[in-house]
Amino acid sequence: MSTAGPRPQPANWLLLVADELHAGCLGHAGHPLVPTPALDRLAACGTFFTSAYTPSPICVPARASLATGLEVHETRCWDNALAWRGAPPGWPQALAAAGRRVEAIGKLHHAGSGFPLGFTRQQRALHVDQGLGQVWGSVRDPLPASAGPSPLFEQLGEGVTEHHRFDLGLTADTCAWLQARAEAPDATPWTLFVGWIAPHFPLVVPRRWLDRIDAARIVLPARGAPRHPWVERMAGFCDHDAALGSDARRRQALHAYLALVAFVDEQVGRVLQALEDTGLAATTRVLFTADHGDNLGARGLWNKCVLYGDSTRVPLLLAGPGVAQRRCTTPVSLSDVDATVRQGAGLPPGPGAGCSLLALAATQDAPRRTVLSQYHAVGSASGAFRLADAHWAYHHYVGHRPELFDLRADPLERDDRAAHEPARVSAWEGALRDRLEPEAVDRAAKADQAALVARVGGREAAWRLGPRGATPVPEEATR
């Protein structure tokens, strides 16, 4: 994206969101194997937030917070079945009420297009499956012993899936949408949300992207020390690593994932080129992020759903007119997006406690700012909470001992310091309890999930409802 010439007051927002993208798997983040020229260029001409986090390491709750600026315990969108229905309202409704064009193309993963989500139009809308989502994941109290064999890698390696076709189609639709805005300009400012599925599993990708990754240089992550009891229970519920079964297949999974990252970068590049070619870049701010990360084999874990940075950190880039060219180390969250979009549209703040990324990018780094992540979804016997600043990460597990990591000395979070620093643990627990009461939030999540389970006919009926793998793509959305 060009930064030359005058910087008029921007009128438009382009929000680009990938799914399950590890924050470290990008060239500008230091990854040695993945070619991401489009995102590297975006990072170079704007602000790269190096400590960005998701409010929850699973799709639906994270996206509800992105839409509203509220934390998971405030939206009560606890898991992949309790999706956002437009209440509490967020930036889409606020912008639409202010007379802006607010549209979406691709994966939103809310309750469905029939709910008052605020978007004036949705194309290729991908929401929770059949309006229900992953109901079986709401069966948590008590948590069943096992979900059975993991389906995560039933498809793996070279190929084409409905998800791939979906992403290619939405890229084409987005470029056409930008061209239409340029050909029929009006005074109405717009905000466009674009949501790709990749690099979310299934880890299947055409050969041309696999060939961009030097598979011989892939290094398997360290499995590390014995896992925390809460994490061990999660792994036992659905053992994705056992489903891979060999180092050869683990390398194949990493190869496919990195290739999907390269695929996403190419899609972003096509959209950003269309923005330039149409002349809309001069009046448009761009935000790129993802809903959560992926463990990618660290600690023997795959998928997301835990509190470690592999799962909770996200890429976050902000660029466009008036945005500083810098790396910002202030910890930020997807729950800050609501305040960001509102400020950029000239609207007052919403009810969330987030801070505008535009403001954070323009001020001195604040390494002691804390951000919250939490998890109450599939495979968890109790609620889990992460509170982190740029130096420390504190993990609170209801019913279990905590964890504490020194992110400066131990960025991979391998050395739990909780037993060695009781005073610091106590201070961090106090800071968490200033925000919420973990036990009360855990009870609220389980109560809402129990009510859902009862509505669908009880535990046995709920256990049979919802996709076991990725959310299926509506047939019409792949055309």
Question: Would you say 250 and 154 are in contact if contact means Cβ atoms under 8 Å apart?
Answer: no
Whole-number Å distance between alpha carbons of 277 and 1: 10
Closest CA to 323 of 7, 6, 5: 7
Whole-number Å distance between alpha carbons of 327 and 367: 13
Q: What is the pLDDT of residues 227-259, one digit of tens each?
A: 999 999 999 999 999 999 999 999 999 999 999
The number of angstroms, rounded, from the C-alpha of 401 to the middle of its chain's C-alpha atoms is 27
Whole-number Å distance between alpha carbons of 262 and 26: 9
Question: Would you say 438 and 432 are in contact if contact means Cβ atoms under 8 Å apart?
Answer: yes
Whole-number Å distance between alpha carbons of 26 and 5: 28
Q: How confident is the model at residue 5 (pLDDT cuts 50, 70, 90)?
A: very low
Q: With 50 as the cut, is the pLDDT of residue 2 above it?
A: no
Whole-number Å distance between alpha carbons of 202 and 225: 28
Whole-number Å distance between alpha carbons of 271 and 194: 10
Side-chain half-sphere CA neighbours of 399 within 13 A: 13
- pLDDT recorded at residue 478: 63
Q: What is the pLDDT of residues 152-162, one digit of tens each?
A: 999 999 999 99
What SS3 state is found at 14? strand
Closest CA to 152 of 460, 459, 378, 412: 378
pLDDT over 90 percentage in the chain: 94
The H-or-E segment that residue 371 falls in is strand 371-375
- pLDDT recorded at residue 477: 65
Question: Would you say 29 and 40 are in contact if contact means Cβ atoms under 8 Å apart?
Answer: no
The amino acid at 78: W
Q: Tokens 């011989």 — which residue?
A: 216
Q: pTM for this one? A: 0.96
Side-chain half-sphere CA neighbours of 271 within 13 A: 31
Q: With 60 as the cut, is the pLDDT of residue 6 above it?
A: no
State the CB neighbour count (10 A cutoff) for residue 380. Answer: 26
What SS3 state is found at 204? strand
- pLDDT recorded at residue 62: 98
Q: With 60 as the cut, is the pLDDT of residue 8 above it?
A: no
Lowest mean pLDDT among 101-115, 216-230, 263-277, 326-340: 216-230
- pLDDT recorded at residue 476: 65
Q: How confident is the prediction for the chain on average, in pLDDT?
A: 95
State the CB neighbour count (10 A cutoff) for residue 412. Answer: 16
Strand order in 47-49's β-sheet?
121-126, 101-107, 190-199, 12-19, 284-290, 316-319, 47-49, 326-328
Question: Would you say 361 and 328 are in contact if contact means Cβ atoms under 8 Å apart?
Answer: yes
Whole-number Å distance between alpha carbons of 95 and 281: 20
Q: What is the pLDDT of residues 419-463, one digit of tens each?
A: 999 999 999 999 999 999 999 999 999 999 999 999 999 999 999
Q: With 50 as the cut, is the pLDDT of residue 417 above it?
A: yes
Q: What's the average model confidence in pLDDT over 163-172?
A: 97
Closest CA to 285 of 4, 5, 9: 9
Question: Would you say 351 and 88 are in contact if contact means Cβ atoms under 8 Å apart?
Answer: yes
Tokens of 474: 């509506």
Q: What's the average model confidence in pLDDT over 22-33?
A: 97
Question: Would you say 67 and 84 are in contact if contact means Cβ atoms under 8 Å apart?
Answer: yes
Tokens of 217: 């240089």
Cα end-to-end distance, the chain, whole Å: 29
Question: Would you say 407 and 368 are in contact if contact means Cβ atoms under 8 Å apart?
Answer: no
- pLDDT recorded at residue 222: 84
Whole-number Å distance between alpha carbons of 97 and 263: 36
Q: With 80 as the cut, is the pLDDT of residue 274 above it?
A: yes
E strands, 164-246, in order = 190-199, 203-205
Closest CA to 199 of 148, 141, 128, 255: 255
- pLDDT recorded at residue 11: 83
Q: What's the average model confidence in pLDDT over 262-289?
A: 97
- pLDDT recorded at residue 93: 98
